Every structure is written in structure tokens, then in C-alpha cells.
């Protein structure tokens, strides 16, 4: 009877947990009471900070030009970059949010794991090689080689900045709440601490420092989940089946948690989540930017492959952690408050299971890893936003590709500072707001604007600038309108009874609409610019696939 | 562009789209768990607590990685 209360949750709140962004929103809904200071967690976190600041100092000596600032000089290996991509992507929210959702609903929480993992093969098959071969610093370099550079750069830079800012607000609000929970620090201090550290990493160490922060964090996170999963399995006689049996006994829904339906019932809702997560992830600018840190196309493909291995392993480990949290946390009174609620809410289930398996030491370690995770993700986002402002808008549009290198580098650092300032300010402004809709926007916009433009530029000869502009407009406007008409704004923010649009994540509808408009307008485009766009496709085709022009290939005797 | 280069690029493009298509079919097949067609996935595997749904999750992740491995190997053979 008591357990029933532990699992009583509002279904719409659970939806907020479906990605790392969603976690940030979900964190607001949970109990965010400050915890007592955890000296082990703080000690381990200080160790991480000392190590990463040393890396930043080392990286700052090598970061003297815009090139090294944006892409670490293109000298990161495929394996290192794969781990860095994993570090950029596997957030505290994946660890805490997905484990928390599994704690509540068992198998249904896995839709988030598969959704997040499913993007990586597509990333490799479609984009890794061609994007690397055609770009320099950002994915916008790729499309502007083919389409009319000024308008397309402005539109895609705008969508990049929108994605980064929305993503940052969600991350910062989630970070403030999470750090308050884990370390007992006041919300505003937590935001300031995150921001100052990220500014130090990015402004001084650029992509090189950001890469190593992400690598260190990914290694720590993978070590942590391996330890917890190993201890859970060891305690269950190294039998996953035994672990599932314990979870079934502890959960009020019993055997229902081993199959679908405990949380979600509508298959269309599942499809909306899958489409948003897969195509949204593939189009995220800070992830695409990582492809330019490696020396060649082979390393780019390897980056994606290693990222898949690490991320796939992580989500399989989370399968053990999720059911382990039900088996070892749900039946233990020490993890519940006087009212029978899980201390810190379901998002803390992962930390509690660490505590159940490894005591204060493992709890402190995982808390420090969560903090490090936030820093790594925010650093990647900040760098991507700064590159959109200083490289895509200033250097390429305002200075027509011929900027003064020192001015560009200075502007990049100023942009980093401004983004950091905006992140802290917006994090404080939105502290007590319902930000679920803000957390939804990046994935849906990425799936409906960035992905279609990038895909059609690389794979369709008939694509034109006009088609891209109209399609991007439709993708952006329809995404915002349907999110406003959906449950997160229409019901939760505006207080109406029933949503006009029934789904939280409209990418299942907005992405096809955007692609359709891009195709129809491009087909009907008879302008001179349209003809140039089509000719450019043929010109760039060989370079996109082989990494060199036809003339260069002929000279080297590689092809033709 | 020479015929050979155009053909090589088209072959690689077909390969990319084929692998993406296979991946997407497998990826979206996970939705079956929430439909009546996926009822059988809710049954247990042998004498264990492991259900077909859980097995499907693990197998999908492993299959995706296997697809990527094959794709990488084919790219390497193509380059040679």
C-alpha cells in the first residue's frame, strides 16, 4: 500500500523526462529540496575541476587561432572524438531521467534509450563522411557551399542559436535544480559555478579543452554506470533474470513493468517521441560540429562508430540500473521521506541505487559525475552558439569569408561570455516557470529545420535555396505553433482544459511538412539562383564522397 | 564528371540509403510493443523473467551496431 504512493505520478510529468532536455523540465516538477552538503561528492567534484582546469590551461597554449578554437586544429582521433561525442550526448539527464522513468514505469522508459541511441547509425550512414568532407567548422559551412550563402547562413545560424539558447535554458534550470539536490548549493550559486567553469573551458581552451572535458566526463560516467550495474548483477547472482524478478516483486504494477504499457498507451505518441529523438539528435548543431575536429573522413566515420559503441553500452547498462533501482530502492525505507515519497523524486532513483550498492563513496562519485556531465554538455552548447555568431554570421556573412583572424577570435570569446551571461540570466528568470515547452523546442526545430536542409543539400540534386528558405519557415513556424497548441503550453502554461493538438512533440508532423514544402518549392523554382544550386550539387558530389575534387582525384590516380 | 566517378558516388549513395532504410524499419518496429501486433513480445523467454520486449531492446541495439560495422567494412572494401 505504501509503495503505491511512491509510484504515483502524473503521466504528463513523466513525458517531460524523455530526453536530457526533458529531464531539465522534469526536475522542476519534482521535489527540489536542498540536501545536506555531501563532502565526498564535493571532494570528487573538486578533483574533476582541478583536472579539467589543468587541461584547459594546456589547451589554451594551443588555441591561438579561430581554426584551433573551433575544431581543435582537426587533430582529434576517431576514438577520442567518439568518446567526446558520447560525452557531449550522454547527459546527467540520460542517466538520472531514464533511470527515473524506468523506476516509475519499467520497460516504457526504454523508449527514451532506444530513441536516443537510434540516431547514431543514421548519423554515420548519412552525414559523418559527407559533412566532414564539405565543411570546416560548422554544418552551415556544408550547406552554404551549395546554396546561396548569405540567406541560408542567416536562416540556419538563427535556428542554431535558437536551438542552443533553448537547450541552454533547459540545461541551466535542470543544472541548478540538480546541483541543489545533490550538493546542497543554492540554485543561483549553482548556475554561477556552472557558468564560470564553462566560460573558463570554452573561452580559453576552445574546442580542444571542451573535447577533453567531454572525454574525461564520458570515461567517468561509463565507469560509474559499469560499477553500479556490476554490483547490481553481482548481488543478483550475476543473473539479470533474478534482478528482474526482484523488481517485479517490489513494483506495484508487478509483471506489467516487463512489457509495454505501464506509462504510454498510444502508439502514435511513441512514434512522435521516436521521430523527434532520432531526427532531432542527428540535426543538433553542437553534435555535428564535432565532425570537424578529426583530420579526415575516415576518422569522422570512426568517430560516429565509436560514439555508437559507447552510447549503446551506456544504454544497455541503464537497462540494468533502471530495473535495479526498482529492485533495490523501492523496497528500502531509507530512501523515502515521512510521507512515503522517494527523496528527491524519481529523478534521484539512480543516485539512490548507487547509494544502495556502494554507500557514500559511490553516491559521492556519481553526484560528482552528474555535475561534470552538466559542465561538458553546457560547454559543447556554448561553443556551438559562439561559432554560429562569430564564424557563420560575422566572418562568413558580414565579412564575406575574409575576417580579420584576431578580431574573429576576440568576437568568439566575447560571444562565449555573452552566451554564458544569457544562460545564467535566463536560468534564473525561468527558475520557477514551467519550461517543458522550452525543452521541447530544440529537438523539434532540429528535426524540422536543420535535418531536412542538411539531408536534402547532401542527397537531392534538385534542392534550391528558395525551397530551403520556405521549408525552414514552415518547419519553424509549424513547430512553434503545434507546441503552443499542445499539452505543454495550451494546458500546462495557459491553463486550458484540453489541448488543441494532442501530442507534446510534433516532429512526426512538422518534419514531413517541412520536407514537402522544400521539395515542392524547389521543383517549381525556375530562378537563376535555383539553376546555380542544382549545378553546385554536381560540382560538390565527388568531393562530398571522396574528400577531394575530380581534378585532385585524377591527379592522385585514386579514381577515374 | 566522369562516368566512373558518377557511378561510384551513386553506388555509395544507394548503399547509404539502403542501410538507413533498414535501420529505420528496425527502429520503428519497436513501436509494435505498444500495438496489438506486438502482444507476443510480452511473453517470457523460457523459464526466465526476460520478456520478448526486453530482448528486442537489447537485440535492436546490438543489430544497429552490427549494421554500422558492416557499413564500415563495406566502405573500407570499396576504398580498396
Q: Give me the residues paired with residue A336 across strands.
A: A342
User: Cβ–Cβ of A550/B20 closer than 8 Å?
Assistant: no
Question: For chain A, how big is the Rg over CA atoms in Å?
Answer: 23
Instruction: Give the list of residues 6+ apart from residue A274 with CB closer than 8 angstroms, or none.
Output: A111, A114, A115, A118, B27, B28, B30, B31
Q: What is the mean pLDDT of residues A412-431?
A: 89
User: Cβ–Cβ of A107/B53 closer than 8 Å?
Assistant: yes
The grid coordinates listed for A91 are: 547527459
Domain range enclosing B59: 3-79
Q: Please count the residue pairs, one from chain A and one from chain B, whose beta carbons lie less than 8 angstroms apart.
A: 133
Give the one of A110, A244, A264 whose C-beta lies nearest to B57's C-beta: A110
Can you give A5-39 as a three-state secondary structure string? HHCCCCHHHHHCCCCHHHHHHHHHHCCCCCCCCCH
Closest CA of chain B from A120, distance in Å? 9
Full-model pTM: 0.89
| Chain A residues 263-292 with a CB less than 8 Å from chain B | 264-267, 270-271, 274, 278
Residue A226 half-sphere exposure, CB side, CA atoms within 13 Å? 10
CA distance A556 to A551: 9
% of chain A at pLDDT higher than 70:
91
Give the one of A110, A309, A550 whose C-beta lies nearest to B1's C-beta: A550
Give the one of B16, B30, B33 whose C-beta lies nearest to A125's C-beta: B16
| pLDDT score for A36 | 64
With contacts defined as CB-CB under 8 Å, which chain B residues touch A301? 72, 75
With contacts defined as CB-CB under 8 Å, which chain B residues touch A315? 61
Are A394 and A408 spatial neighbours (Cβ–Cβ below 8 Å)?
yes
Residue of B nearest to A125 (CA): B16
- Tell me if ipTM is over 0.90: yes
| pLDDT score for A283 | 92
Q: Say whether residue A98 is in contact with chain B using an 8 A CB cutoff.
A: no
Give the one of A126, A258, A542 whose C-beta lies nearest to B9's C-beta: A542
Mutate which of B34, B72, B77 to disrupt the A interface (most A C-beta within 10 Å)? B34
pLDDT tens, position by position, A166-216: 888 888 887 887 788 777 788 888 888 888 988 888 888 899 999 999 999
Q: What is the residue whose three cell numbers read 534542392?
A: A463
Are B49 and A295 spatial neighbours (Cβ–Cβ below 8 Å)?
no
Are A37 and A184 spatial neighbours (Cβ–Cβ below 8 Å)?
yes
Concatenating the DSSP letter of every residue in A69-90 gives HHHGGG---HHHHHHHHHHHHS
Main-chain phi, psi angles of A261, to 5 degrees = 115, -10
Residue A408 half-sphere exposure, CB side, CA atoms within 13 Å? 25
Q: What is the mean pLDDT of residues A62-71?
A: 82
Closest CA of chain B from A266, distance in Å? 7
Instruction: Give the list of residues 6+ apart from residue A236 with CB closer than 8 angstroms, or none.
Output: A242, A243, A246, A327
pLDDT tens, position by position, A366-404: 888 888 888 888 888 899 999 999 988 999 889 888 888
Tell me how many domains chain B contains.
Answer: 1
What spatial distance separates the first Cα and last Cα of chain A, rounded to whole Å?
74
Give the one of B33, B54, B68 whose C-beta lies nearest to A308's C-beta: B68
CA distance A189 to A371: 13
Q: Say whether residue A512 is in contact with chain B using an 8 A CB cutoff.
A: no
Amino acid at each position: 500500500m505504501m509503495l503505491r504512493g511512491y509510484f504515483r505520478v502524473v503521466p504528463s510529468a513523466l513525458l517531460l523526462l524523455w530526453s536530457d532536455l526533458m529531464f531539465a523540465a522534469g526536475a522542476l516538477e519534482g521535489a527540489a529540496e536542498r540536501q545536506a552538503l555531501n563532502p565526498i561528492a564535493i571532494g570528487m567534484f573538486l578533483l574533476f575541476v582541478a583536472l579539467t582546469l589543468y587541461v584547459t590551461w594546456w589547451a589554451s597554449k594551443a588555441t591561438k587561432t579561430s581554426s584551433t578554437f573551433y575544431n581543435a586544429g582537426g587533430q582529434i582521433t576517431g576514438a577520442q572524438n567518439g568518446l567526446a561525442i558520447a560525452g557531449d550526448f550522454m547527459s546527467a539527464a540520460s542517466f538520472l531521467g531514464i533511470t527515473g522513468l524506468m523506476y516509475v514505469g519499467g520497460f516504457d522508459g526504454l523508449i527514451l534509450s532506444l530513441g536516443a541511441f537510434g540516431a547514431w547509425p543514421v548519423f554515420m550512414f548519412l552525414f559523418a563522411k559527407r559533412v566532414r568532407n564539405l565543411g570546416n567548422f560548422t554544418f552551415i559551412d556544408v550547406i552554404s557551399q551549395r546554396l546561396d550563402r548569405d540567406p541560408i547562413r542567416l536562416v540556419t545560424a538563427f535556428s542554431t542559436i535558437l536551438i542552443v539558447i533553448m537547450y541552454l535554458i533547459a540545461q541551466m534550470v535542470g543544472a541548478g535544480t540538480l546541483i541543489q539536490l545533490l550538493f546542497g548549493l543554492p540554485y543561483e550559486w549553482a548556475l554561477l559555478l556552472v557558468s564560470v567553469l564553462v566560460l573558463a573551458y570554452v573561452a580559453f581552451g576552445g574546442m580542444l579543452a571542451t573535447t577533453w572535458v567531454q572525454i574525461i566526463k564520458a570515461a567517468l560516467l561509463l565507469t560509474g554506470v559499469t560499477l553500479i550495474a556490476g554490483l547490481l548483477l553481482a548481488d543478483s547472482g550475476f543473473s539479470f533474470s533474478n534482478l528482474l524478478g526482484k523488481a517485479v516483486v517490489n513494483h506495484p504494477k508487478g509483471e506489467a513493468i516487463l512489457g509495454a504499457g505501464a506509462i504510454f498507451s498510444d502508439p502514435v505518441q511513441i512514434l512522435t517521441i521516436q521521430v523527434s529523438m532520432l531526427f532531432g539528435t542527428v540535426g543538433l548543431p553542437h553534435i555535428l560540429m564535432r565532425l570537424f575536429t578529426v583530420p579526415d573522413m575516415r576518422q569522422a566515420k570512426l568517430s560516429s562508430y565509436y560514439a555508437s559503441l559507447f552510447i549503446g553500452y551506456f544504454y544497455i547498462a541503464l537497462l540494468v540500473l533502471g530495473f535495479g533501482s526498482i529492485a533495490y530502492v523501492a523496497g528500502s525505507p531509507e530512501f523515502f521521506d515521512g510521507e512515503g515519497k522517494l527523496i528527491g523524486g524519481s529523478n534521484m532513483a539512480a543516485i539512490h541505487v548507487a547509494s544502495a550498492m556502494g554507500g557514500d563513496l559511490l553516491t559521492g562519485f556519481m553526484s560528482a559525475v552528474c555535475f561534470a556531465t552538466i559542465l561538458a554538455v553546457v560547454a559543447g552548447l556554448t561553443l556551438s552558439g559562439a561559432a554560429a555568431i562569430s564564424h557563420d554570421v560575422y566572418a562568413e556573412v558580414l565579412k564575406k569569408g575574409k575576417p580579420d583572424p584576431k578580431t574573429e577570435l576576440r568576437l568568439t570569446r566575447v560571444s562565449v561570455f555573452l552566451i554564458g551571461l544569457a544562460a545564467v540570466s535566463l536560468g534564473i528568470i525561468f527558475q520557477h516557470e514551467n519550461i517543458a515547452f522550452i525543452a521541447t523546442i530544440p529537438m523539434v526545430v532540429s528535426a524540422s529545420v536543420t535535418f531536412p536542409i542538411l539531408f536534402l543539400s547532401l542527397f537531392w540534386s534538385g534542392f534550391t535555396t528558395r525551397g530551403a528558405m520556405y521549408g525552414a519557415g514552415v518547419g519553424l513556424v509549424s513547430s512553434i505553433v503545434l507546441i503552443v497548441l499542445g499539452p505543454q503550453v495550451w494546458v500546462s502554461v495557459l491553463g486550458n482544459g484540453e489541448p488543441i493538438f494532442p501530442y507534446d512533440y510534433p516532429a512526426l508532423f512538422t518534419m514531413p511538412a517541412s520536407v514537402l514544402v522544400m521539395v515542392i518549392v524547389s521543383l517549381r523554382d525556375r530562378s537563376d539562383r535555383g539553376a546555380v544550386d542544382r549545378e553546385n550539387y554536381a560540382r560538390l558530389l565527388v568531393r562530398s564522397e571522396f574528400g577531394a575534387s575530380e581534378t585532385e582525384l585524377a591527379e592522385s590516380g585514386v579514381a577515374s | 564528371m566522369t562516368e566512373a566517378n558518377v557511378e561510384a558516388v551513386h553506388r555509395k549513395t544507394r548503399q547509404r540509403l539502403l542501410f538507413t532504410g533498414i535501420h529505420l524499419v528496425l527502429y520503428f518496429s519497436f513501436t509494435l510493443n505498444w500495438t496489438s501486433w506486438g502482444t507476443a513480445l510480452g511473453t517470457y523467454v523460457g523459464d526466465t523473467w526476460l520478456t520478448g520486449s526486453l530482448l528486442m531492446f537489447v537485440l535492436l541495439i546490438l543489430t544497429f551496431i552490427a549494421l554500422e560495422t558492416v557499413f564500415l567494412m563495406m566502405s573500407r572494401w570499396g576504398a580498396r
